[in-house]
Amino acid sequence: MAIVVERKRLSWLERTYLPQIVSGLYITLKNFFKPKVTLEYPDQYTSLPAGYRGAPTLVKDSQGREKCVSCQLCEFVCPSKAIKVVPGEISADSEYAYIEKAPSSFTIDMARCIFCGMCEEACPERAIVLQTEFSLNGLSRSELLRDKRSLYAAGGILPDKIMKWKKVKDNSELEGSH
């Protein structure tokens, strides 16, 4: 059986909606004379907080060499599947032929990226870092797809100790030490 609930009858003043209109106008007038807090972006903006996680980019070492070793850990750990790494071979006649691989293609889809920072944490070479860039825009989805060249251009150089370019002892030297 349904329960019928009697509604409270509105008074004459409540039926005219005047109290609601007056309270709305009061709030509007009160806020009208407060100082403005709107920033005229991009001409002015506030400083970013410490620890801000912006767009992921690739960086080079202090001698301008790629730090990425194409381990694909960033691709595997990315929860939004925004990173795509295609490993490539280093030519046999190169002085760095002892390094297994380097990325032939590295793309990050900024439309999918959630700026979580897991790619930066997973990278063993610190080749991918989060910059403070926060204004990502484009007229199409393809403009938000960043390739290796544009990622290195945005990242620049990160001078620190790098493991990739250090020559490791030969296997014969390692076997002779036992």
Least confident residue range of 12-16, 128-132, 144-148, 156-160: 156-160
Could you tell me which of 57, 63, 161 has the C-alpha nearest to residue 119? 57
**How far is 111 from 95, CA to CA, in rounded Å?**
38
- Domains of the chain: residue spans and CATH: 56-155 (3.30.70.3270)
**How far is 83 from 75, CA to CA, in rounded Å?**
5
- Predicted TM-score (pTM) of this structure: 0.67
3-class DSSP state of 86 = strand
**How far is 80 from 83, CA to CA, in rounded Å?**
8
**How far is 54 from 129, CA to CA, in rounded Å?**
9
pLDDT of residue 47: 79
pLDDT tens digits, one per residue of 70-98: 999 999 999 999 999 999 888 778 777 77
At 174, phi and psi to the nearest 5?
Answer: -70, -40
Could you tell me which of 162, 163, 80 has the C-alpha nearest to residue 117? 80
pLDDT tens digits, one per residue of 3-55: 999 999 988 988 899 999 999 999 999 999 898 888 887 788 777 888 888 89
**How far is 119 from 96, CA to CA, in rounded Å?**
25
Q: Is the pLDDT of residue 109 over 60?
A: yes
Instruction: Determine whether 171 is exposed, middle or buried from the number of CB atoms within 10 Å of its CB (0-12, 13-18, 19+).
Output: exposed
Using an 8 Å Cβ cutoff, are 62 and 159 in contact?
Answer: yes
